[in-house]
Chain A
């Protein structure tokens, strides 16, 4: 099973700041990583797939990078609606599909 470790667990930032979230895989997953955003009381929303491809309708301030075992989600300038929990997910070695434990981006 591929274990995904996200860091930090919580990121405290102000609107307008840059957010950098990390996801590390326990073995190489090539570029088969997705990122999701989840707000309270809502289902997850696909942001990025295959490490760097933005999903339909996702603003350009969201970008993803990485391959192999180390991945990064960057939000270039935080908007008020970006404060949420972010999850990574791998799809190359399944079953089981696995998710990271999440990073909460909170307002400082």
Chain B
């Protein structure tokens, strides 16, 4: 059974840092594009970042302009986990952060068929 479990959320002051993790089980995450998608309180969905799942490109990462240069997505193949390191956090980064898996391995289909329950990040003084 596919499962995604996020952890690491919490309250952080503006300008601070936080690291989110996503533990994947039931599939080999390194062969899939994986993504982080966030949702501000009461708002819609916003794509944050993605890591490539194609052979030979599994370290390639992509970011929304709103987080580029501040957030870094990575994966630990041995642990089947993903991480999102967030620096220089702003109040507008306050959101639930979802980890999501794409439908087909080895392709950039960017269709999200499984989502974790999310981790809440609150940026406030």
Identify the A interface with B (CB < 8 A): 34, 36, 38, 42-46, 49-50, 55-56, 87, 89, 91, 94-102
Contact = CB atoms under 8 A, between A and B. Distances in A.
A34 B65 CA distance: 22
Contacts of A99: 44-47
Nearest to A102: B44
Interface in B85-125: 98, 103, 109-113, 115-118
A63 to B, nearest CB: 17
Contacts, number: 57
B64 interface: yes
Nearest to B113: A46
Q: How large is the interface on B (under 10, 10 to 19, 20 to 34, 35 or more residues)?
A: 20 to 34
B62 interface: yes
A77 B98 CA distance: 30
A96 B47 contact: yes
A43 B117 contact: yes
Interface of B: 35, 37, 44-47, 50, 62-65, 98, 103, 109-113, 115-118
B44 A44 contact: no
Contact of B50 (A89, A97, A100): A97
Given A99-B45, A99-B46, A91 B65 contact: no
A96 B64 contact: yes
Given A38-B45, A99-B46, 6 more contacts: A43-B116, A49-B111, A50-B111, A91-B111, A97-B110, A99-B44
A101 B98 contact: no
A42 B109 CA distance: 23
Contact of B111 (A34, A45, A100): A34
Contact of A94 (B44, B110, B112): B110
Nearest to A43: B115
A44 B98 CA distance: 9
A91 B35 CA distance: 13
